[in-house]
Every structure is written in C-alpha cells, then in structure tokens.
C-alpha cells in the first residue's frame, strides 16, 4: 500500500529506493534531450544532502477535522500527511504546533530559511507571529534571510537550501572559469545565482518581472554596481543588454525562443538552470553556433520526478569545466 506521501501526490517517488529514484531522474533528462535530437553526456544526478525532509517551503491546507495536509492531485480529496520525510525539522515542529492550536484556516505556505519559519497565507488567522497574507505583511517579520539574501513573502527561493548552495557554488565556479566581462542574469529573482559574481566586482545586469523580487534583488545587490531591471526576461532581445555570459533560471514553462534570440548577440557562454527537462530540451534545440559543454542534473525535490538540470553552452573550442 502506498505511503501517504505517495497517495497525496506531493512525493510520488517517496516509496522508491533512493538510488533508483536518482537513476530515474537522470534518465528523464537523457530521454528529453534524445527526443529533441540533442547529443550530450548527462552526468550522474547530484543527490540532495537531505534525501528526506529536505523542503524549506510547503503549501498546506486545513482538512475537515483540523489536520494539515494536501488535496490529492486533480481532486478535493484531503490527505493528511506526516511531514517528517518531506520538510525540514523546523517546519515539522511549526506545523505540529499550528495543527494542535486549531487556529489555522484555509491554505497557506510555511517558509523557512533554515532557522526562522514564517507563514504566507490566503487569509489571516491567529497564531503565526510572522504572517503575510497574499504576499503582504500582516504582522511580525515574514521576510526571510536565505544564505544572506533578503527574501520577501512573495519572492521565490529554491525549496532545498543545502542543494541550492551546491548549485550556486557550481555556477559560480563556472562563471570564474568563463571570466565574463559582464553577466546578464535573466529570471534573476532575488539574485541567487549572480550575487557572488557581483560581490567579486563582475558587472551584472539582472532582469526579473516580479516587483517584490526586484525590490529584494536591489537590496541584495546594493553596493555591487549591479543593475536590476524590472522586465519580462522572456521578451529580452539581442542587443537589449550587453553581456558576454548569460545566466537564466526560468520557471517550469522554460524560455521558448529565448536562446535563439540570445545567440544573435553571440555571448561566449550561456548557463541555463532548468526545473523541467522537457522545456529545457525544447529550448536547447536549434541554437545556432553553440555546443553543450555540461549537463548536470540535481536532486532538488527528493521523492519526486522533478529534477533540476544545469546546462552550459559555449562558442568556440571545447571547454573542460571543473
């Protein structure tokens, strides 16, 4: 009989052996690239430092008897789920206290930076000290400090704190090897991928459409000389921003047509972090003049089919990346 995590749909691979799940995630990336006729060596999936209890964010709702849990996918059938194998310990403790209080209402997201827990709810309710409703502060301080970056209630941050640190460090190593004169960070969010380069003095232009994330990015990149632009990164055209290396971390839908547009500006390198292998493969297909130097999957969402994939495209001679 499947576990509650599988039954709820929140972690459909939770009952699989960890090594089998990692291999299956890598196979998803390989198949997506192959179906688009892309030839590239896919590295083994980098495992989450926390194979269980990894998530720093979770959206919950209150069930008919006051328990916290989820609706089964595509239904209004409520499933109460033990959270120990899904979210970080501080979120487990917070959710248990909230459930015991009987004060929670409706649907809400618990968010942690590894120390503090805050609530971003659909409607206000008593109990949380640090509460936002529909991304707006109601009381306390619902803004987090995630690895030194300000993250407001409506701003995105990666769900797996430990793995995100590894991804960010890997990308920063790649940037140091590419030695860009200027970086363009598309779908830049609060500055997660480019802040280290900006603080080293690399000129950075960050493009982000969310007003709240733009405000966070300007705060996080203050004093570095970085330029933060509020705009739709998917509509950027060649020549809009000068850069010889481009970062992009789009949503699950990917960035259709954007790589072809960026290629017209002939950047030396494109570093693409994707959360969906299918949209990634579609975006990579048919980019003229570029070679895939790296395909590295990461286990950002243990227990699920969702895999994060880092791809590096470069022009010129083949490059061996550390």
Kindly state the average pLDDT of the residues 260-286: 96
Kindly state the average pLDDT of the residues 98-109: 96
Q: Which of 275, 281, 307, 313 is an active site residue?
A: 275
> Which of 146, 320, 305, 300 shows the shortest CA–CA distance to 219?
146
Query: Residue 137 pLDDT > 90, yes or no?
Result: yes
Distances (CA, A) of 105 to 86, 109, 188: 21, 12, 33
pLDDT band for 320, please (50, 70, 90 cuts). Answer: low
Exposure class string for 291-313: b at 16+ Cβ within 10 A, else e: ebbbbbbbbbbbbbebbbbbbbb
Tokens read off for 50: 């926390």
The DSSP bridge partners found for residue 78 are 71
The pLDDT value recorded for residue 319 is 53
The pLDDT value recorded for residue 322 is 56
Task: Cite the DSSP H helix spans in the chain.
Answer: 4-8, 18-35, 89-101, 161-178, 195-199, 211-220, 258-263, 277-284
The pLDDT value recorded for residue 74 is 85
Strand pairing of 183-186 and 245-248?
A: parallel
pLDDT band for 1, please (50, 70, 90 cuts). Answer: confident
The pLDDT value recorded for residue 266 is 96
Dist. CA 165–CA 158, nearest whole Å: 10
Strand pairing of 245-248 and 204-208?
A: unpaired
| Domain locations along the chain | 8-50+160-314, 55-151
Evaluate the CA torsion angle 248, 215, 154, 210 in order and state its sign: negative
Q: Cα torsion for 198, 203, 209, 210, to the nearest 10°? A: 30
User: Is residue 207 within 8 Å of 233, Cβ to Cβ?
Assistant: yes
168 catalytic? Reply is no
Query: Residue 267 pLDDT > 70, yes or no?
Result: yes
Strand pairing of 245-248 and 131-133?
A: unpaired
pLDDT in tens, 225-236: 999 999 999 999
**Angle value at C-alpha 81, between 77 and 85, nearest 5 degrees:** 145
Q: Residues near 177 by Cβ (< 8 Å), separated by ≥ 6?
A: 319, 321, 322
Which CATH number among 3.30.360.10, 3.40.50.150, 3.60.20.10, 3.40.50.2300 corresponds to the domain 8-50+160-314?
Answer: 3.40.50.150
Exposure class string for 245-279: b at 16+ Cβ within 10 A, else e: bbbbbbeeebbeebbebbbebebbbbbbbbbbbbb
> pLDDT over 70 for what percent of the chain?
98
What's the chain's average pLDDT?
95
Query: Residue 154 pLDDT > 80, yes or no?
Result: yes
The pLDDT value recorded for residue 317 is 53
Kindly state the average pLDDT of the residues 31-43: 95
> Which of 222, 212, 219, 89 shows the shortest CA–CA distance to 153?
212
Dist. CA 254–CA 274, nearest whole Å: 7
The pLDDT value recorded for residue 151 is 98
Dist. CA 148–CA 2, nearest whole Å: 39
């Amino acid at each position: 009989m499947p576990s509650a995590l599988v039954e709820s749909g929140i972690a459909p691979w939770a009952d699989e052996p960890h090594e089998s799940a990692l291999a299956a995630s890598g196979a998803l990336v390989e198949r997506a690239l192959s179906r688009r006729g892309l030839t590239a060596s896919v590295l083994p999936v980098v495992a989450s430092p926390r194979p269980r209890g990894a998530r720093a964010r979770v959206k919950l709702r209150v069930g008919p008897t006051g328990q916290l849990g989820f609706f089964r996918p595509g239904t209004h059938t409520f499933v109460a789920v033990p959270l120990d194998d899904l979210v970080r310990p501080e979120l487990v403790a917070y959710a248990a206290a909230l459930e015991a209080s009987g004060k929670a209402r409706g649907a809400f997201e618990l968010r942690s930076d590894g120390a503090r827990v805050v609530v971003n709810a659909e409607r206000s309710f008593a109990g949380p000290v640090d509460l936002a409703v529909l991304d707006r502060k109601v009381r306390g301080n619902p803004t987090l400090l995630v690895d030194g970056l300000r993250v407001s209630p409506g701003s995105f941050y990666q769900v797996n704190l430990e793995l995100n640190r590894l991804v960010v460090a890997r990308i920063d190593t790649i940037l140091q090897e590419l030695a860009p004169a200027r970086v363009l960070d598309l779908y830049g969010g609060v500055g997660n991928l480019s802040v280290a380069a900006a603080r080293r003095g690399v000129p950075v232009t960050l493009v982000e459409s969310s007003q709240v994330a733009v405000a966070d990015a300007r705060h996080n990149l203050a004093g570095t000389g970085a330029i933060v632009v509020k705009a739709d990164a998917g509509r950027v055209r060649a020549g809009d921003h000068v850069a010889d290396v481009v970062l992009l971390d789009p949503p699950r839908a990917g960035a259709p047509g954007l790589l072809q547009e960026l290629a017209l500006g002939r950047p030396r390198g494109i570093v693409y972090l994707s959360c969906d292998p299918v949209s990634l493969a579609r975006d990579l297909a048919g980019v003229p003049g570029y070679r895939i130097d790296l395909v590295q999957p990461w286990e950002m969402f243990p227990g699920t089919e969702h895999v994060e994939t880092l791809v590096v495209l470069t022009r010129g001679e083949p490059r061996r990346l550390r």
